[in-house]
A and B are shown apart, each in its own frame.
Chain A
Amino acid sequence: MAAHTLNIYMLSLGRMHCHIYGRNVHKALNRATYATALSTNNSSPNKGFPDRGSRGPIIRRPRREEGEPRKDRMPVDQDWTAVYPTAAPFRPGSVPLPVRMGFPVKRGVPPEKKGNLELIKIPNFLHLTPTAIKKHCEAMKLFCTEWPSALDTNVKCDEHFPIKIECKDYVSAGTSIRNPSARIVNLRVSICPNYDYAMYLLTVLYHESWKTEAWESEKTVADMEEYSWEDSPSQKNALSTLVRMQIAGEVEGDAVRDKLLGRPEVQEYRESVIRLMNEGESESSILQYREAVKKLLKL
């Protein structure tokens, strides 16, 4: 479908271009023919290369004349799939459209397609016209079988083939032909009539997940999915601050630590830090953190 729309667009563009730029193109062509007709023909075969003096002229194979470009010999009802049977770079001589592409230098117009690197660089869908796709389909039909007549409703399809794979394709204008969202492939599983089997599978998975593998013990803080306040630098900082705030008298030890941890303001502080880390920052979470710290430091 993309190729189809592209075609229409190019045709309309072509028509528009013919209208606006056509005259200029013709003029240029005329000028070109006029110029070549008048140019003087040097006797030496090496046009443009100055005389090399004592070393003598370089013998070069004379360059053969270019033939007429293909587009000039194209009938309107031609077979386009013969011009572009496969994906191929843009050939200005084979595409009969007056396409222009590029930056208009000095308030001019975009450069023409002849010798235009921009048009060659970009991917084109000239090999995917509707006729070409029809031909592909015809060719592939040889390898296809009939759709099973029994599967005529969606319900029956779901029953026999519960697992569905969805691939998404995207068409958009942008700098890259790849769309990262297209990489996501959805696998849908609906709960099949065999409910017991599904539960059995889930139970097995559940128990498997409880088994700790040897490499799981190497999990670092960076791997953690959620932030845990215990044993975090935040907890250590808070505790050390509180300990320093208690002026001498209290003995360091686990009992003091647990007592400090049990205080309501410490709990509030813990909540706010967890919220900040897990949910990300926002004005409200920062304000909550602020209130908690104020209570902690008794300001």
Chain B
Amino acid sequence: MAPTAVSNKLKATHRKQFQELQEAGEKGERERTMTLHRLFPLRLRQTIAQVRLLHGSGCGHQLEEVAMEPELRKETSVFRTQVNDPACQSERHLGQYYTLPTSHLHTIFPHGLPARYQQQVKTFNEGCVMVRQPALELISYLKAADYSKPAVRYLLYGLKGSGKTMSLCHTIHYCSTQGWLVLHIPDAHLWVKNCKELLPSSYHTSRFDQPIEASNWLRNFRTTNERFLSKIKLRQRYTWTKRESTEKGSPLGELVDMGVSRVKSSSDVVGAVLKELRLQAAETEESEGFRLAVAIDGVNSLWGRTTIKKEDKSPVAPEELTLIHNLRKMIDNNWCGGAVIATLSQTGSLYSPSSAYLPKELLGEEGFDSMDPFIPVPVSNYSEKEFESCYLYYLDRHWLQHPHSKTDEGKKEIIFLSNRNPSVLERLCAFL
């Protein structure tokens, strides 16, 4: 709806109220906000806010929104922002939810979002992500980094359920909207456990292939990075069998398609894809270069133990798996033109105590030495303001049905029970 049409409609239905508002506005800012309070319920106030924003949309005019409602912040703080582009978000938007466009949801995150969040997206019919400090910090580093230097490694760490994966997804959204090539491994723990099929690698005798996991990942990779598949050309000839090979100069898409269709050699295809991207990311923008973002969730599984066993029941070490071996090469900072963003995760990890969340505990000696020097980014539970936002968002979506949850008492109870931990809060509110 065009802005004028909306305001016309509003005027038609609430002409008198609007006149009163305008008169109050002439008296002063405070009068206007108080009248605003009195006359319009929350929903309409937001519509008015949106109308105003439509008049002056874009990054620069967010000040208007903030300046308009300083009094309201205490009681009904604005928890949504219209700035859906992560590049334009700043500290002003801390604690506010922005909406992920549906098209992006399907292309960028075919496999990246946490399971419960995906269910929430389906229920609410929209994907809203909160702008939080760790993600903003990461994005600022990415903006400021020099991409002719070796890739910088960032590590998100924090307590269980504090929002590491969501921050990672926020950063990936930023990278994607900026035109980077995103290599997203949604959960590296899945590659070191419950492997149904383990084939000995044809390329290297002592290693093992995981065809199912590799082909799944290639399929999702293809969905995410469609536009790059035809642009990037291979630098080397890859021979798969005596009769099959991929020639030098053929597009990356061909390689990926081959990996998806020929499941047996998919792990080697993954290795080849990673190598090509690593070599080609170093080029500058002019000569059709691109920036590479390697996003790994649960990076501590690369140096831990696996529960996969060989036929003689001896355990398989992580480096004996082709996928893990190739991924470790990506984490090394001997390539330039991109960044490695990783999250630590205790939830899916094997043989680690459930209270562990600090980097060195979960990475281990070997992992720390491989990642060193990296920038650790802590992710903590919600702050008071963020909790407010989340609470208001759930109220707005009519997720909190219990009448007691809408009172102050109920809110205090919720704070006490969840300790402002995002995932605990989400699970708690699902019952209410």
> CB within 8 Å of B: which residues of A?
233-234, 237-238, 240-241, 244-245, 247, 269, 273, 276, 281-283, 286-287, 289-290, 293-294, 296-299
Q: Which of B141-149, B265-273, B389-397 contacts A (4 or more CB under 8 A)?
A: B141-149
Of B145, B360, B372, B378, the residue contacting A299 (CB under 8 A) is B145
Given contacts A233-B372, A283-B378, contact A241 B358 (CB under 8 A): no
Chain A at the B interface: mostly helix, strand, loop or mixed? Answer: helix
Shortest distance between the CB of B149 and any CB in chain A (Å)? 5
Task: Assess the A299–B149 pair: CB atoms within 8 A.
Answer: no
Q: Which residues of B contact A237 (CB under 8 A)?
A: 369, 372-373
Given contacts A241-B150, A244-B149, A244-B334, contact A281 B359 (CB under 8 A): yes
- What are 28 pairs between A and B in contact, CB < 8 Å? A234-B369, A234-B372, A234-B373, A237-B369, A237-B372, A238-B372, A241-B373, A244-B149, A245-B149, A247-B148, A276-B360, A281-B358, A281-B359, A281-B360, A286-B157, A286-B358, A286-B359, A286-B376, A289-B376, A290-B376, A293-B374, A293-B375, A296-B373, A297-B152, A297-B373, A297-B375, A299-B141, A299-B152
Of A244, A276, A286, A294, the residue contacting B150 (CB under 8 A) is A244
Sample of 18 further A-B pairs with CB below 8 A, known A283-B378, A290-B377: A233-B369, A237-B372, A238-B372, A241-B333, A244-B336, A245-B150, A247-B148, A281-B360, A282-B358, A286-B358, A286-B376, A290-B376, A293-B373, A296-B373, A297-B149, A299-B144, A299-B145, A299-B375
Shortest distance between the CB of B299 and any CB in chain A (Å)? 16
B150 nearest CB neighbor, chain A only: A244
Task: Assess the B373–A286 pair: CB atoms within 8 A.
Answer: no
Residue interface bits B374-385, CB-to-A below 8 A is 1, else 0: 111110000000
Shortest distance between the CB of B191 and any CB in chain A (Å)? 24
Task: State the CA gap A238–B371 with chains docked (Å).
Answer: 11
Task: State the CA gap A241–B333 with chains docked (Å).
Answer: 7
Q: For window 349-383 of chain B, which residues contact chain A by CB distance below 8 Å?
A: 358-361, 369, 372-378
Task: State the CA gap A234–B374 with chains docked (Å).
Answer: 11
Q: Please give me the 10 A-B residue pairs with the lowest Cβ-Cβ distance, nearest first.
A: A233-B369, A281-B358, A244-B150, A293-B373, A245-B149, A237-B372, A281-B360, A234-B372, A290-B376, A293-B375
> CB within 8 Å of A: which residues of B?
141, 144-146, 148-150, 152, 157, 333-334, 336, 358-361, 369, 372-378
Q: Which residues of B contact A247 (CB under 8 A)?
A: 148
B145 nearest CB neighbor, chain A only: A299
B361 nearest CB neighbor, chain A only: A281
Q: Which residues of A contact B336 (CB under 8 A)?
A: 244
Q: Which residues of A contact B376 (CB under 8 A)?
A: 286, 289-290
Task: State the CA gap A294–B138 with chains docked (Å).
Answer: 12
Q: Which residues of B contact A299 (CB under 8 A)?
A: 141, 144-145, 152, 375
Most buried by B among A233, A245, A297: A297
Q: Which residues of A contact B333 (CB under 8 A)?
A: 241, 244
Shortest distance between the CB of B89 and any CB in chain A (Å)? 19
Task: Assess the B375–A294 pair: CB atoms within 8 A.
Answer: yes
Shortest distance between the CB of A69 and any CB in chain B (Å)? 50
Q: Which residues of A contact B358 (CB under 8 A)?
A: 281-282, 286
Task: State the CA gap A240–B370 with chains docked (Å).
Answer: 12
Shortest distance between the CB of B332 and any CB in chain A (Å)? 9
Q: Which residues of B contact A289 (CB under 8 A)?
A: 376
Shortest distance between the CB of B14 and any CB in chain A (Å)? 52
Task: State the CA gap A51–B228 with chains docked (Å).
Answer: 87
Task: State the CA gap A192–B334 with chains docked (Å).
Answer: 63
Task: State the CA gap A289–B153 with chains docked (Å).
Answer: 14
Task: State the CA gap A296–B153 with chains docked (Å).
Answer: 13
Task: State the CA gap A245–B333 with chains docked (Å).
Answer: 11
Shortest distance between the CB of A155 and any CB in chain B (Å)? 50
Shortest distance between the CB of B203 and any CB in chain A (Å)? 27
Given contacts A244-B334, A245-B149, contact A290 B375 (CB under 8 A): yes
B374 nearest CB neighbor, chain A only: A293
Given contacts A233-B372, A238-B373, A296-B373, contact A286 B148 (CB under 8 A): no
Most buried by A among B146, B148, B372: B372
